[in-house]
Amino acid sequence: MPVRTTRDGVEIFYRDWGQGRPVVFLHGWPLNGDAWQDQLKAVADAGYRGIAHDRRGHGRSTPVYDGYDFDTFADDLDDLLTQLDLRDVTLVSHSMGGGELARYIGRHGTGRIRSAVLLSTITPYLLQGPGNPEGVPQSEFDGVKAGLLTERSQCWKDMTELYFSANRPGNKVTRGLEDAFWYMAMAMTVEGGIACVDAFSTTDFHDGLGKFDIPTLVVHGGDDQAAPIEATGRKSAALIPGAELKVYEGGSHGLALVPGHKEKFNQDLLAFLEK
């Protein structure tokens, strides 16, 4: 398997398809790099080099017990980019991957980075509070962690309803898509599943977003029930100088996997890469 070893001995699995300017995909929780296969093929077919790794504790990377914080994730990404000697990179992030991207730029700068895409990300801050009334209440995160401890397999199955807005009339979410979500989620360690909830719900990414000095595309679903657009996408776009915001009406948190919105996102991504 194609892997790279981090500074602390963790093996990071990655897919590497195509030739050309590199496009590196950062997956969301609780998925892995397989979530990006449609986009990997799209960019490889268009003449780019698509790379997607499994975050530590996810998929085929080392199933470690600790290190589920954004400083560590950002440094893992830096290890991967450095060891592959990738430059002029477009980073494409989804969900908690947006936090990884923001923390990477905050810690390591944009010397290797050409541009960035934030898709349905958790930035700049997800937890509801006095300064962030649009955010997600702590009780919802507590409920997810309790569900994972009680019976994580069923918890992942239940989560597909919200993740893909499968609870909306006329949705295009298939049983196969729900099963794929469950399969990827079950490949993550239970400790990683719980620790990541604490990490992505309480980490503040304002500082990292303030250091973006590259072209940035922000894409968010208008019906994102996991990372509400008013708390995340709109605020992220406002914080990044010159960022372009695209709102997909009715789009779910996992819109890049759902037929209809998936094809639209692929088109928007390829158009952005051409700039």
Give yes or no: 71 in active site. Answer: no
Helix, strand, coil abundance in the chain, percent, nearest 5 = 45, 15, 40
Catalytic residue among 61, 224, 236, 252: 224
pLDDT for the residue numbered 1: 76
Tally Cβ neighbours within 10 Å of residue 169.
4
Helix ranges (H only) for 18-114 are 37-45, 70-83, 96-108
Of 138, 123, 188, 136, nearest to 162 by C-alpha is 136
pLDDT for the residue numbered 179: 98
**Global pTM exceeds 0.95:** yes
pLDDT for the residue numbered 92: 99
pLDDT for the residue numbered 228: 98
pLDDT for the residue numbered 127: 98
Give yes or no: 220 in active site. Answer: no
The set of long-range contacts for 85-89, using a CB threshold of 8 Å and a minimum separation of 24, is 86/22, 86/24, 86/51, 86/112, 87/22, 87/112, 88/21, 88/22, 88/112, 88/114, 89/21, 89/22, 89/23, 89/24, 89/113, 89/114
pLDDT for the residue numbered 117: 99
pLDDT for the residue numbered 189: 96
Give yes or no: 75 in active site. Answer: no
What's the topology of domain 3-273? Rossmann fold (3.40.50)
**Any idea where the domains of the chain sit in the sequence?**
3-273
- Look over the chain and give the mean of its residue pLDDT values, rounded to a whole number: 97
Within the chain, how many helices (H) and strands (E) appear?
Answer: 9, 8
What residue ranges of the chain have pLDDT lower than 70?
none
| DSSP code of residue 33 | G
Structure-token pair, residue 129: 């509070």
pLDDT for the residue numbered 139: 98
Catalytic residue among 27, 53, 58, 253: 253
Calpha distance 15→33 (Å, rounded) = 7
Catalytic residue among 95, 115, 120, 201: 95
